[in-house]
Structure 1
Amino acid sequence: MAKIRLQRGKYEKSVKELYDDFQLENKVKNLSEMTIRFYEQNLIHFLRYLEGIGISNVGEIEKKIVDRFILFLKKKELKATTINTYMRATRAFLYFAMREDYLRQFEISLIKAEKEQKEPYSDDDIKKLIQKPNIRECGFVEHRNWVMVNYLLETGNRLNTVLNVKVEDIDLENGMVVLNTTKNRKAQYNPISEYIVKVLTEYIRTYKFQKRDFLFINEIGEQMTRNSMQHTIPRYNKRRGVEKTSIHAFRHTFAKHYITSGGDAFKLQRLLGHATLDVTFNYVNLYAKDLKEGFEQHSILANYSSNPRMNRGRRG
């Protein structure tokens, strides 16, 4: 008798069941909580769309369904970058379904989106933000917020990294900070300036922080959350007369200043924790115009030709 090869039925797995399998694998692969939350928050749009058009089984999903989902998002007049965020999560989910043989292979592409201008804080903004409050008169929250803004400008660290820095991670004597919570999950050793060392030393001593304490805590001594920091920074900025409230803009500001002050792209890659130079070079290209400013004074040929001594012997 010939052997019968069992195959998975086309409608064997529900979308809900596959989603649970997908997130289970992500946890087994030890992906970060942020990545797992990214899928949770952004896949919901595709899952709701499938529910809305009556699709509950994975095998019913075809390329045209994905294309219609993109058109559905476009009709909602969402930004291209937002649509691509939803699509990155959707693509990862559907490629997982393909690998598990619940779905036939087809390619999923992101839509064309122009890169948004990364607007850093202006020089005037920075002056307002780092104006030191009267430490003897201000409360803990104002002092902490000032230190936090100084730290963000000085390091360019990501939000999640900043929230997880502990007092013991900071080597005040040697001017170094150990970043244990990074995007690539590898410990990162970054230098910090003498200025921020003084700021942190005063802050740590004033409130008698212990080594195991998180550097940025709330009024009852607990680690600050993403949500609390995302509310704190905008309030702080507006009170200082700064309209821009983006936390990530501190990172852009750090990158711009580093590049335009003559910093090396390879070192910047390490400081920002980029896995490759591709993202780093985006900053270099973005601020190329700023690099041009004042270049004449550093140009060998410009200085050579403008020096009167070099012009001697020229024929009229």
Structure 2
Amino acid sequence: MKWENALKDYREYLKIERGLSQNTITNYSFDVEKLISYLIENEINVSPLTISEEEVQQFIYTIAKQVNARSQSRIISGLKGFFNFLVFEDYRKQNPLELIESPKIGRKLPDTLSIDEIDQLIAAIDLSKPEGERNRAILETLYGCGLRVSEVINLRLSDLFFKEGFIKVTGKGDKQRFVPISDATQKYINLYREHIRSHQDIQKGHEDTLFLNRRGKQLTRAMIFTIIRRLSDDSGLHKKISPHTFRHSFATHLLENGADLRAIQQMLGHESITTTEIYVHMDRSHLKNVMEQYHPRR
């Protein structure tokens, strides 16, 4: 079996059987492609079925000199998944990474913005330009609903249930959930729809897409990153801000104001409560307040 054939089969498995998004599949494939490039560069003639633990270990040693511990851990995890697939399909008897441990890394707390910083960022939007109303609606949706960037660009008009106070969100693995949406966020989306979107020449196939670019097509992930980076510069915020920063801020602010962790988990679309629990570590004062309010010997 050749590497390209094994990788193609692996991608099909991730898409059809695991139901993963294209972005996740691309990331997993990239880890395997790194190993393939290493083998080619070093003229190591082995196939996915014959590569040994020693050869994989040498690759890990090499990559450890080029990337940080977190990236190294991710690559090892990606390769383990690939070779587990080959074992599962009976192509191999064992996983060559079975005994290879990932480097120990600390739990990275996500970056967040304060409420004032979010207001400062949104205030920097130039509403005199047509895209201004759209950009404000996008940022308000990112923060107001705690969405991932992919979830925002894939929002449809048919996903908006404003009378009920919810929007339908399609998350990782095409899993759908209903997320509450505030009156304020609804207002900004409606302003964009009525004053900007309704006057656009919408391209065929994008009639139901909520947020459109100037050409009447769906926005890309890269464009959302660009919008936020420019606003960060214009507002004078000297922070590394991404669309995910708004999602983290959404969860953190809810928790700080006493929201239940399970409710936050459902709104964020986390499969495991462990993923959501990272926000508990961000503000220890919240834990102190919970103790003082609910413990019988407070």
TM range (shorter): 0.7 to 0.9
Aligned residue number for residue 11 of structure 2: 23
Residue 115 of structure 2 corresponds to which residue in structure 1?
123
Query: Are residue 90 (structure 1) and residue 79 (structure 2) matched?
Result: yes
Are residue 35 (structure 1) and residue 24 (structure 2) matched? yes
Q: Aligned pair in 2 of structure 1 residues 47, 126: CA closer, same or farther (>3 Å)?
A: same
Q: Which residue of 1 aligns with 2:261?
A: 265
After TM superposition, the score normalised by the length of structure 1 is 0.81
* Alignment equivalent of 2:284, drawn from 254, 265, 289: 289
Of 176, 192, 198 in structure 1, the residue corresponding to residue 181 of structure 2 is: 192
The answer as to whether partners of 1:296 and 1:302 remain within 8 angstroms in 2 is no
Q: Give ranges in structure 2 of 5+ residues lacking alignment.
A: none
Residues 260 and 287, structure 1, Cα contact 8 Å, conserved in 2: no
CA separation in 1, counterparts of 2:4 and 2:294? Answer: 63
The 3-state SS of whatever aligns with 1:60 is coil
1:145 alignment partner, SS class: helix
Deviation of 1:291 after TM superposition, in Å, equals 0.5
Structure 1, unmatched stretches of 5+, are 1-12, 304-316
Aligned-pair identity (%): 26
Q: 1:290 to 1:116 in 2, by over 3 A?
A: same
Which deviates more, 155-164 or 292-301?
Answer: 292-301
Matched to 2:47, the amino acid is N
Hey, what does 1:3 align to over in structure 2?
Answer: none
Pairwise CA distance, 1:260: 0.6
RCO higher in structure (CA 8 A, sep ≥6):
2
- Write the letter of the residue equivalent to 1:125: E
Alignment: residue pair count:
286
Q: Decide whether aligned partners of structure 1 residues 290 and 213 sit closer, same or farther in structure 2, where only a CA change above 3 A counts.
A: farther
Structure 2 partner of 1:159: 149
Contact 1:129 1:149 (C-alpha < 8 Å) held by counterparts: no
Task: State the match for 2:92 in structure 1.
Answer: 103
Match of 2:235 among 215, 240, 243: 240
Alpha-carbon shift at residue 93 of structure 1 (Å)? 1.3
* Partner amino acid, structure 2, of 1:81: R
Query: Does the residue aligned with 1:101 lie in a helix, a strand or coil?
Result: coil
Q: Deviations over 1:87-131 (max 9, x none)?
A: 222111111222233333141543211111212113332120232
Matched residue type, 2:23:
M
Distance 1:298 1:132, change over 3 A: farther
- Structure number, greater radius of gyration: 1
